[in-house]
Structure 1
Amino acid sequence: MSAPAQATQHVEEDRMSEAAEAAPARADCVADSAGGLTFHIADWARPAPGGHDDWSGALVLVRRGGRDAPDGEVRLPLGPTADGGLQAALPSTVALPEGRWDVHVAYRDAEPRRLAPGLNDLRSLVDRRPGPSTSPLSVRIPYATKHGNLSLRSWRRAPHAEAGEIRLEDDTVAVRGRLYRVAYPSEWLADAVVEARCRGGEAPVRTAPLEVEGPDFSFTLSYAELARTWGGGADVWDLWLRPADQTMAPARLARILDDVADKKEIFTYPPRTVAGRHGEALARPYYTRDNDLALRIEAPA
């Protein structure tokens, strides 16, 4: 082969190598019913000075907005798989604070690189029913960011009130749910109430009684009651369960026991018209960016 041809070949090989290095590796995620995740990486071009038998790598989870915090980074060791890939395990017993975690892969002292999402097997998260326990409930849901990177949404709660069916009437909203991560759910729920707390406002807390059957509960809230203090803007009411025993922690109502990381734009409910002191308002339930359940009272568009 002539010198110019050899030079051209080397240039093409360098370009291919650079493209392979620039392309993010993909990770497949498999969830288990306890709240753990396993990451499988099959196409990472490792800059391995020790060769392909050198597995000195780590999966690096970085909490968004908390990188410099003591609990802002979690490193999981990578190990070889039978098919020549890599895998890392995130057991439910590893405490992962609530938030959004960006997923990276790192080799030795090299700068960690973001991972792209592969295939997710999240079947065990659908209609998940955690067993009895008083330890914090761990929920981790992988998802693809708008930039095509892999991230995790993490929750860690005890107690936890999981919202279920939501029924809308003309001027009320009825919610069913189940309480988790308390020693005796039926005793915790006895004489408990649902509290609607107006976010950032001076409105009084509104309460309503619960109907209880074992760990299951239901309640009905009146939109008209919430609209009595509506000031004409947008009022957001966060929903909590408060036990009769004031020494016990309340439970935030949320929907996290499934495979949907962001419910705000997916689980939508039609508004109802309600009379407020400043005229007619629109009232509806919705899920926040954290998948917490809230009610919104606002002026018609």
Structure 2
Amino acid sequence: MSTDTDTETQPHVGCVIGDDGRITFDLPPGSPEGQQLLLRLRPKKGQPEKTVHVLDFEPAGERHCAVLNARPVLTEGRWDVYLLQEPGSQRQRPRAGLRDLRALVDGHRRPRPSPLAVRIPYVTKDGHLAVRAWLRDAHAEAEGIDVSARSMTVRARLHGASLQEGSVVSLRLRGAGATAVTVEPRAGDDGRSLSFTVDYAELAAGAPPGGGVWDVFVRPAAQAPSMRVGRLLDDLADRKKIVVYPAADIGGTGLRPYYTVDNDLSVEVTGKP
């Protein structure tokens, strides 16, 4: 079991992220020279480790910094941060220092190149530094959700795609194959912004006994692949327990929009008679 003393003596690594996704990691003043930073793509349960990046710390005034450039992009997933006291030495998990994420706060307002590459440094449950990464050919960013007693209205913006003839919003019942509810999006003048309203009664009627989950997708054109609607372009690595929307009651059935563990938008149906 760790103690407060253990926490205080563990090394700390801070970071600053730039508008282009570049992350500069820094060690406190007086840290030993010759250290390296290792980023490891967290493997799925039971799978071996496959991908790592090793960065050198270089002197920068009184501190030492290691820079993860915007390219190459990171594979989508969670990246754990480690320190190496010297090349090839045993890994050590650092505590999270100061994280400057101001460049990410209004990230949903800026145009993004394709493929969309997102990085958000965050603190793990046990206080260590990690990086959340997304990598998608195209993405529909949820910019606002208005909920009422009968429906929800979503405002979104496309990155890496534009609305064309045949565009459609679909809510797919998770685990139910082709079961879906479709809604026609309202397109903005720029061809990238859109909004749509979902009637809760239709979702409640289509859910199985006991409830279910509807995942939200946008297909920007008739022959284009569908993309998930989500919120990736700000400073929150995990939205599910932070951004909580109120539930509505439709004849004893509860409906609530929420963000999944991947920050994608879904609607939960519970308590269906």
TM-score, scaled relative to structure 1: 0.81
Residue 158 of structure 1 and its aligned partner are, at CA, apart by 2.0
**In structure 2, the residue corresponding to 1:102 is in which secondary structure?**
strand
Q: Which amino acid aligns with 2:170?
A: E
1:29 and 1:40 in contact (8 A); partners too: yes
Q: Quick one: distance in 1 between partners of 2:49 and 2:6?
A: 33
After superposition, the CA RMSD in angstroms is 2.3
Residue 143 of structure 1 and its aligned partner are, at CA, apart by 1.3
Structure 2 residue 134 is the aligned partner of structure 1 residue 155: yes
Which residue does 1:220 correspond to in 2?
197
Q: Which amino acid aligns with 2:220?
A: P
Q: Quick one: distance in 1 between partners of 2:144 and 2:125?
A: 30
**In structure 1, the residue corresponding to 2:206 is in which secondary structure?**
coil
Structure 2 residue 267 is the aligned partner of structure 1 residue 299: no
Q: Which amino acid aligns with 2:118?
A: V
Which residue does 2:26 correspond to in 1?
40
**In structure 1, the residue corresponding to 2:198 is in which secondary structure?**
strand
Residue 103 of structure 1 and its aligned partner are, at CA, apart by 0.4
Q: Quick one: distance in 2 between partners of 1:219 and 1:125?
A: 26
From the superposition, tell whether residues 60 and 209 of structure 1 become closer, same or farther in structure 2 (CA, over 3 Å).
Answer: same
Residue number among 88, 107, 113 corresponding to 2:92 in the alignment: 113
Residue number among 251, 259, 282 corresponding to 2:254 in the alignment: 282
Q: Which amino acid aligns with 1:236?
A: V
2:253 and 2:271 in contact (8 A); partners too: yes
Structure 2 residue 172 is the aligned partner of structure 1 residue 197: yes
Residue 254 of structure 1 and its aligned partner are, at CA, apart by 0.7
Name the stretch that deviates more: 73-82 or 219-228.
Answer: 73-82
Structure 2 residue 232 is the aligned partner of structure 1 residue 256: yes
From the superposition, tell whether residues 97 and 111 of structure 1 become closer, same or farther in structure 2 (CA, over 3 Å).
Answer: same
**In structure 2, the residue corresponding to 1:95 is in which secondary structure?**
coil
TM-score, scaled relative to structure 2: 0.88
**Identity within the alignment, %:** 37
Q: Which amino acid aligns with 1:281?
A: T
Which residue does 1:236 correspond to in 2?
213
Residue number among 49, 61, 82 corresponding to 2:39 in the alignment: 61
Structure 2: 5+ residue runs without aligned partners?
A: none
Deviations 1:214-253 (A, max 9, x none): 111000111111111322223111111013332x332211
**In structure 2, the residue corresponding to 1:225 is in which secondary structure?**
helix
Q: Size of the alignment, in residue pairs?
A: 263
Q: Quick one: distance in 2 between partners of 1:202 and 1:132?
A: 32
Residue 93 of structure 1 and its aligned partner are, at CA, apart by 1.7
From the superposition, tell whether residues 116 and 36 of structure 1 become closer, same or farther in structure 2 (CA, over 3 Å).
Answer: same
Which residue does 1:92 correspond to in 2?
70
2:173 and 2:207 in contact (8 A); partners too: no
Q: Quick one: distance in 2 between partners of 1:92 and 1:137?
A: 11
Residue 131 of structure 1 and its aligned partner are, at CA, apart by 2.6
1:160 and 1:181 in contact (8 A); partners too: yes
Q: Quick one: distance in 2 between partners of 1:40 and 1:221?
A: 46
Higher CA-based Rg: 1
Q: Which amino acid aligns with 2:181?
A: R
Q: Which amino acid aligns with 2:194?
A: F
Which one has the bigger helix percentage? 1
2:173 and 2:214 in contact (8 A); partners too: yes
From the superposition, tell whether residues 20 and 109 of structure 1 become closer, same or farther in structure 2 (CA, over 3 Å).
Answer: farther
From the superposition, tell whether residues 44 and 283 of structure 1 become closer, same or farther in structure 2 (CA, over 3 Å).
Answer: farther
**In structure 2, the residue corresponding to 1:228 is in which secondary structure?**
helix
Deviations 1:62-107 (A, max 9, x none): 122257354x222222222221x32111122222111111100112
Q: Quick one: distance in 2 between partners of 1:148 and 1:239?
A: 32
